[in-house]
Structure 1
Amino acid sequence: MSFDLQLKGLRALVTGGTKGVGAAVVQGLSDAGVEVITTARSEPKNPIEGVVYVAADLLTAEGAAEVTGSVLKRWGGIDILVNVLGGSSAPGGGFAALDDAQWLKELNQNLMPAVRLDRALLPAMLAQGSGVIVHVSSIQRLLPLPESTTAYASAKAALSTYSKALSKEVTPKGVRVLRVSPGWVETDASVALAQRLASQAGTDYEGGRQIIMQSLGGIPLGRPAKPQEVADLITFLVSPRAGSISGSEHLIDGGTVPTV
């Protein structure tokens, strides 16, 4: 049996597509024959052939408008939107370390880019009666770390709730909306974190990895996910082969979340 994902010729926008999971998603979709536009604050040093890069700051309304304008001008519509952009720069120290500015920054980084892009690009999907939107959330919404991820986890929880509400609204009109929630993914940034923790603890890189896994309560699989594994899941979910999947959240965490 052929497992062609039937993605060739479809049009996709991927945010945060120059590093980590976003870059892996861009590569995976491109390999599957999708026409891809991606965006980040700057273009990559080694661009993927055939992929269009738009340099913009999606943490601003102006940046979001620039990206959606480029997409609509080039294609007039879109088939796939993968909102990968997110992250955190909030300080450790628990609730007392988080002032209003930190809270707003986390929401503006992890919720509002998706809201703005969906609002601008959904009308074209609804007009054609088809499309798929993926919001990349995080298991932190289920397992927040009070010392360091309270605001980030809360913003991701807001993204997940928004995503579910949007799915209930637009799935009957032909647009599927999904959430993918990774656990710890071994991106370049995660490798740097493990190396820093290892140095502070006087251990090697594997020791640094263990420190991170222990902070999460353990990963039964024994390792973090790879960006390509997250990208493979997303590539399948946006394909017509997953056409009956909508409104759901898909964890890829090696078993980190201990509950049903």
Structure 2
Amino acid sequence: MSALEFHGKRALVTGGTKGMGEAVVRLLAQRGATVIATARQLPASPLAGVCYLQADVATPEGAGTVVKTVERDFGVLDLLVNNVGGSSVPGGGALALTDADWEAAIQTNLMAAVRLDRAFLPRMVAQGSGAIVHITSIQRRLPLYESTVAYAAAKAALANYSKALANEFGPRGIRINAVAPGFIETTAASALIEQMALHRNVGDDEARGALMESLGGIPLGRPGSPEDVAEVVAFLLSSRAGFVQGAEYVVDGGTLPTV
């Protein structure tokens, strides 16, 4: 692997200022890519050499702003990482969710990727190359019905869509794959662990263990890091994965039961 394997490549990463997205942005930039990162709010400590676009890509207007700016300032993309996702709906199971809750989950976790793919794919096809990675989740196969059923359903749709897109655009020179993270200890996850520890009057390690146990355990014995995910994303974007198409790489420390 070359230390500058992405030299000359133009990459767009959505949700690129926190957690897994920030780790992907950092790694691609370190390996020579020209990186554009989107976020609803600009970072307090931007990475040198990275172009940040303030936009909510979960909305048609925000996605449109990103498309216009990228095409005007950078031309065609070589690499696209649809990382934006998450859940902000209340707990309480499926019956607690309103139409608005479902709509928010679908717009953030599915339609943001659909809109950007639809905008950038034609020019990738015209140049005869490109690589796209969609960030799904192990919850598409292991949903937590109490709190994230809409998120899990939207991620399942994203995985299905990703496979269909790979079948359609593979013959035109575009590689499309997905990465399904498990429990990744981002800043948000660390905050959740601290809240659990405070609520239960236990230490952070015990709260972390309880959260891992709620997923059925992690055989490797620890949560993942954003860098664990970024390394897999970088591999899938690189020429080293030149014969990998329509795949979904699970990065979960062994959480998902497999036979």
State the shift of 1:237 in Å: 1.1
Please give the alpha-carbon distance, in whole angstroms, between the structure 1 residues aligned to 2:71 and 2:243.
27
Please give the alpha-carbon distance, in whole angstroms, between the structure 2 residues aligned to 1:169 and 1:237.
18
TM-score for both structures, normalised by structure 1 = 0.98
Task: Note the 1:7-156 alignment, pairs <5 A.
Answer: 7-156=6-155
Determine the structure 1 residue equivalent to 2:212. 213
Q: Which portions of structure 1, spanning 4 or more consecutive aligned residues, are displaced by more than 4 angstroms? A: 2-5
Which amino acid in 2 is paired with 1:112? M
Please give the alpha-carbon distance, in whole angstroms, between the structure 2 residues aligned to 1:258 and 1:184.
14
Contact 1:7 1:34 in 2 (8 A): yes
Contact 2:4 2:32 in 1 (8 A): no
The residue matched to 1:203 in structure 2 has which SS? coil
Please give the alpha-carbon distance, in whole angstroms, between the structure 2 residues aligned to 1:203 and 1:146.
25
Contact 2:12 2:81 in 1 (8 A): yes
Which amino acid in 2 is paired with 1:198? A
The residue matched to 2:12 in structure 1 has which SS? strand
* CA deviation profile, 1:87-145 (whole Å, cap 9, x unmatched): 00111111110111111110011001000000000011000010000000000001001
Contact 1:168 1:247 in 2 (8 A): yes
Please give the alpha-carbon distance, in whole angstroms, between the structure 1 residues aligned to 2:130 and 2:211.
37
TM-score for both structures, normalised by structure 2 = 0.98
Which amino acid in 2 is paired with 1:12? A
State the shift of 1:6 in Å: 2.6
State the shift of 1:42 in Å: 1.4
Structure 1 residues not aligned, in runs of 5+:
none
The residue matched to 1:176 in structure 2 has which SS? strand
The residue matched to 1:189 in structure 2 has which SS? helix
Which amino acid in 2 is paired with 1:42? Q
State the shift of 1:245 in Å: 0.7
The residue matched to 1:159 in structure 2 has which SS? helix
State the aligned residue count: 259
Please give the alpha-carbon distance, in whole angstroms, between the structure 2 residues aligned to 1:206 and 1:108.
35
Determine the structure 1 residue equivalent to 2:241. 242
Structure 2 residues not aligned, in runs of 5+:
none
* CA deviation profile, 1:43-75 (whole Å, cap 9, x unmatched): 101111111000011121010010011111112
Please give the alpha-carbon distance, in whole angstroms, between the structure 1 residues aligned to 2:151 and 2:194.
22
Please give the alpha-carbon distance, in whole angstroms, between the structure 1 residues aligned to 2:61 and 2:145.
33
Contact 1:5 1:239 in 2 (8 A): no
Please give the alpha-carbon distance, in whole angstroms, between the structure 1 residues aligned to 2:48 and 2:86.
27
Please give the alpha-carbon distance, in whole angstroms, between the structure 1 residues aligned to 2:17 and 2:117.
20
Which amino acid in 1 is paired with 2:126? A
Identity of aligned residues (%): 54
Which amino acid in 1 is paired with 2:128? G
Which amino acid in 1 is paired with 2:89? A
State the shift of 1:3 in Å: 4.8
Please give the alpha-carbon distance, in whole angstroms, between the structure 2 residues aligned to 1:164 and 1:237.
14
Please give the alpha-carbon distance, in whole angstroms, between the structure 1 residues aligned to 2:257 and 2:251.
13
State the shift of 1:4 in Å: 5.0
Please give the alpha-carbon distance, in whole angstroms, between the structure 1 residues aligned to 2:189 and 2:243.
34
